[in-house]
Structures are given as structure tokens and as C-alpha cells.
Amino acid sequence: MTERVRHAVIELAIEGGFPACTFANIAERAGVQRSTLYRRFPDRWTTIIDAIVAKTGDDVVADLSGSFERDLRSVLRKLADALDSPLGPAVMAIAARMQADPNADYPRDYFDGRMAQLEPMFAAAIARGDLPDDIDREELFTSAAGPLWFRKFISARPLDNAFIDRIVENVCWLYCSGCRA
């Protein structure tokens, strides 16, 4: 049932954004009762965040390469592919809507879900000595992923491999243990 609900949320988000992701629409699309959604999720934001984190995090670090640089490049390529997909603009619009409520923890919940998915990559890099033990994982990932969001949604430029390579090179120069002056 969880996968059907997630799939329904993603389809609805692409088709109509946040307004389309009502419990009534999600339940109908997923073929479940609304009461099932209410028992499982406290509100529609939680349902939306769960679906987006699951969809955009599919196998995000499934194949660790033995190199933080290669792993980060792979993660950023997968993010770029997601942002270039029909889901990308929907996620951007939903993220903007999340920010509209200054009292909500939803944006933090989304980012925490993403950071949990990336933890194996960071743990492996620290264990190999690629990153220092006290690395600020959020700062590093924000420095790496932020340019993709900006380039895609603000400057409307392509998310090509050359751009991703430059980001990875700069992030590794700033954060990797072997690259620090």
C-alpha cells in the first residue's frame, strides 16, 4: 500500500502540484480509503514529503565506489536527473509552498530524509579518510546540491556533466581531507 500511495502522490504532484495532493485525491488514485491515509500519515505534508524523499532517493548511494569524489558525482547526477524530470518543477513548487509556513518543520523533515539517505556515502568517506571525522555533512551537501537547484530553476541553464564535474571538483577541494591547505 505504501508504494501505491507514494506513486499516487508523485503523479498528482506532477499533474497539479500541491493543490492536487489532497487526501481525497491521493486515496482515490492509490485505491485506498482516506481513513487509511489518516491513520498512517498525520497530514498531507507528511505524505508528500515521504513520497518525494522515497522517489528522489531511490538507490541514491546504492553503489559506493570507494571514492567520495565519484560517489558525490553519482549523487549529483541522480539529483540533476530528478530535477530535469517532470517531478523537478513540482518539487520546486512544493518546496516553495513548504517555506510559506514559518512554523512548520516540513522543509527540515525533507532535508533530514535526504541526509539520512546520504549517510552511507559520508560514513564510507570518513572511514577511508576522504573526509574529516567532524565534517559538517549538511554544509557540504548544501554546497554541492545548491548550485544544481539554482542553475535549473533560477538561471535556466542545463545540468550537464561538465557543470557537475566543476561542482564536485570545488566541493572536494574545499572539504576533502587530502585537498586542504
Chain segment 92-149, per-residue pLDDT in tens: 888 888 777 766 676 677 788 888 889 999 999 999 999 999 999 999 999 999 999 9
User: What is the CATH number that goes with domain 60-181?
Assistant: 1.10.357.10
Hey, where are the domains in the chain? 1-56, 60-181
| CA dist., res. 37 & res. 39, Å (int) | 5
Q: What's the pTM value of the predicted model, to 2 decimals?
A: 0.82
| CA dist., res. 128 & res. 159, Å (int) | 29
- DSSP string spanning 62-129? SS--S-HHHHHHHHHHHHHHHHHSTHHHHHHHHHHHHHT-TT--HHHHHHHHHHHHHHHHHHHHHHHT
Among the four given CATH numbers 1.20.200.10, 3.40.50.620, 3.40.190.10, 1.10.10.60, the one describing domain 1-56: 1.10.10.60
